[in-house]
Structure 1
Amino acid sequence: MTTTTELSELTGDYVLDSAHTRIGFVAGAAMVTKVRGQFDEFEGSAHLDGDDPSQSSAQLTIQAKSIQTRNQRRDDHLRSKVFLDVDNRPTISFISIGVEQVDETNFKGTGDLTIRGVTKQVTVDFELTGTENDPQGRFRVGFHGKATINRKDWGVSWGRGLVSEKVTLEFDVAAIRQP
Structure 2
Amino acid sequence: MADIKPEYAGQWRFDPAHTRIGFSTRHAMVTKVRGAFNDFEGTITVDPDAPERSAVQLTIKVASIDTRNADRDQHLRTNDFFDAPNFPEITFVSDRVDQVDEGHFIVSGSVTIRGVTREVSIPIDFMGVERDPMGNLRAGFEGSRRINRQDFGLKWNTTLDSGGVLVSDKITLEFEVSAIKVEDG
Distance apart, 1:6 and its partner CA: 5.3
Aligned: 1:154 with 2:152? yes
Query: Which residue identity is paired with 1:162?
Result: L
Q: Give the TM-score of the pair, scaled to structure 2.
A: 0.92
Segments ≥4 residues shifted beyond 4 Å = none
Q: Secondary structure at the match of 2:75?
A: helix
Quick one: which amino acid aligns to residue 137 of structure 1? G
Residue in 1 that maps onto 2:161 = none
Equivalent residue for 1:67? 65
Map 1:36-75 to 2 at 5 A.
36-75=34-73
Cα distance in 1, alignment partners of residues 44 and 34 from structure 2 = 26
Tell me the SS of whatever aligns to 2:101.
coil
The residue aligned with 1:143 is 141
Residue aligning to 1:170 = 174
Distance in 1 (CA, whole Å) between partners of 2:48 and 2:145 is 23
> CA separation in 1, counterparts of 2:103 and 2:59?
25
Q: Which residue of 2 aligns with 1:7?
A: 4
SS of alignment partner, residue 49 of structure 2 = coil
Range with bigger deviation, 43-52 or 137-146: 43-52
How many equivalent residue pairs?
175
User: 2:119 is matched by which residue type in structure 1?
Assistant: Q
The SS at the match of 1:102 is strand
| Rounded Cα–Cα distance in structure 2 between residues aligned with 1:92 and 1:125 | 19
Which residue type is aligned with residue 149 of structure 2? R
Runs of 5+ unmatched residues, structure 1: none
- Please point out which of 4, 11, 31 is paired with 1:33: 31
Partner Cα distance (2:27, 2:9) in 1 = 41
C-alpha distance in structure 1 between counterparts of 2:142 and 2:10, whole Å: 19
Larger Rg: 2
RMSD over equivalenced CA pairs, Å: 1.1
C-alpha deviation, 1:51, in angstroms: 2.7
Cα distance, 1:10 vs. partner? 1.8
Give, in whole Å, the separation in 2 of the partners of 1:70 and 1:51.
43
TM-score normalised by L of structure 1: 0.95
